[in-house]
Amino acid sequence: MDLNLIMRIAGLGLGLWAIEELLNKAGMGDAAKYVKIIGTLVLLTFIINEILNFFETVQTFFTF
């Protein structure tokens, strides 16, 4: 696993947390929920991309 991926996940988490807090303080709880859902989907795309890269690496390793 790359350190860049960990930093992207941490940065995304901190950014989403800040946006959610601002929206909750402004009384926009519904918008904060949507931000949380969209952030989770973006995080899943990061992780799925890394899993696909891992499987490609394993496939090339075992291909003769």
**Residue whose entry in the numeric block shows the structure tokens 């090339």:** 60
Quick one: pLDDT at residue 1? 62
Domain count, the chain: 1
Rg, Å, the chain Cα set: 16
Q: Residue 55's pLDDT is what?
A: 94
What pLDDT does residue 2 have?
76
49 is in which domain, residue-wise? Answer: 3-62
**Could you give the CA distance from residue 12 to residue 53 in angstroms, rounded to a whole number?**
21
Counts of helices then strands in the chain (DSSP H, E)? 2, 0
List the chain residues with pLDDT less than 70: 1, 64
Tokens 């402004």: give the residue.
26
Q: Say what the pLDDT of residue 63 is.
A: 83
29 Cβ contact list (under 8 Å, min separation 6):
23
